[in-house]
Amino acid sequence: MVEIKLKKGKDKAVNQRHPWVFSGALDKIKGKPENGDVIRLLDANNDFLAYGYYNDQSRVAVRLLEWDENIGVDQAWYEQKIKTAIAGRAHLLADNDTTAARLIFSEADFLPGLIVDQYADFLSVQILSSGIEKAKDIIIAVLVELLQPKGIFDRSDATARTHEGITAENGLLWGEAPAEFIEVKENGIKYHINIAEGQKSGFYCDQRDNRKLLASYTKGKSVLDCFSYSGGFSLNAFAQGAAEVTSVDSSALAIETLKQNIAINKFDENKHIAIQSDVNKQLRQFNDEGKKFDVVVLDPPKYAPSRSALDRAARAYKDLNRRGLLLLESGGLLATFSCSGAVDIDTFKQIIAWAALDAGKEVQVIYQFCQPEDHPVRLSFPEGEYLKGLLVRVV
């Protein structure tokens, strides 16, 4: 096995079990590893540190897998990691009220670059590192053995792959192809998911708990669900007796799917308005018209893909939230989210404080949202924490 030696003093994060080694920390490579090969990582004294995937295309040159020298990264290793991850989610899927969950969440589950989402009888997989790509056949075999899905679909068409020098994939990996729309349930609510064409892996199951929690504030209320996608917040609000819901998204497929979802849950479509539009434009228009809502949801896509984009993203979040707050009166609620890992909760609070000041509103935070348990945060990998939100009441 190829051995890679670290520069002196570069082993601290590795010893703290952080799974990333940057290319600048590497000293010598003994042998010629191919991208995706498992290598032995050594410290400057040639002592063993960990096993990891090597990649010369990526800023993260080694993605660490295993810190115990006596445990090789073989089929049994993958089996054990996958089994543990699935077992951790079993109770979420136990009562058939919820049939969509993230089973494997990359570094958080010790499988850097592997994301597996279960959607009823199908699995939607993203392979985002060359190491996982090389182990693909083993991983598929283990998933099939443990879960017996109808089919496994590859949704790896993410930009992350290009950083690893592997090309985009989108297609059937195993078994039968899913129908154009398959049905899942989340907290008893039905959703159509288009696994092949939908966003991300088809659905945003990371908002499961937050949708349910927010819905408890929407009985008899008028709700504006911005960046609605297939309607997670809108549908939960209807389930809890919202008086009327307006959903805004720029994607035609999202709006189409949302309308199907209103129908399959037998919610009253006369109480629903779906608008295909840019959210900022729509918020401006509502403000010009003097329109008000009781509850406004803002769940935008990732504005800050990296730390370097933080300033610009902060301005975008501020403008968006200012516009959202302008549509609320005293007692109104804003549920506002950021899925940018680079924006931490304190920064986000600061941004919302600026937005409130600019909107001329006094606000109170009454709840902090986070990512759900099937998107765990490994404490040795804080970068895995990305979703945060605030429930804010206008005083």
Active site members = 339
Nearer to ligand SAH, 75 or 250 (CB): 250
Which residue number is nearest to ligand SAH in terms of Cβ? 232
Smallest distance from ligand SAH to CB 55, Å: 29
94 and 139 Cβ atoms separated by less than 8 Å: no
Smallest distance from ligand SAH to CB 299, Å: 4
CB within 8 A of 7, min separation 6: which ones? 25, 26, 27, 44
Nearer to ligand SAH, 210 or 347 (CB): 210
The bridge status of strand 122-127 relative to strand 114-119 is antiparallel
Nearer to ligand SAH, 376 or 389 (CB): 389
CA dihedral 36, 39, 44, 48 (to 10 degrees): 140
Nearest Cα to 35, choosing from 167, 177, 131, 104? 131
Nearer to ligand SAH, 132 or 283 (CB): 283
Nearer to ligand SAH, 134 or 211 (CB): 211
The bridge status of strand 151-154 relative to strand 122-127 is parallel
Smallest distance from ligand SAH to CB 153, Å: 19
Binding site for ligand SAH (CB under 6 A): 199, 204, 207, 227-230, 232-233, 249-251, 254, 278-279, 299, 301
Give strand pairing partners of 124: 117, 153
Report in angstroms the alpha-carbon separations of 247 from 197, 255, 257, 375, 384: 20, 8, 12, 26, 29
Smallest distance from ligand SAH to CB 275, Å: 9
Smallest distance from ligand SAH to CB 133, Å: 27
How many CB atoms neighbour CB 107 within 10 A?
22
CA–CA distance, 6 with 21 (Å, rounded to integer): 9
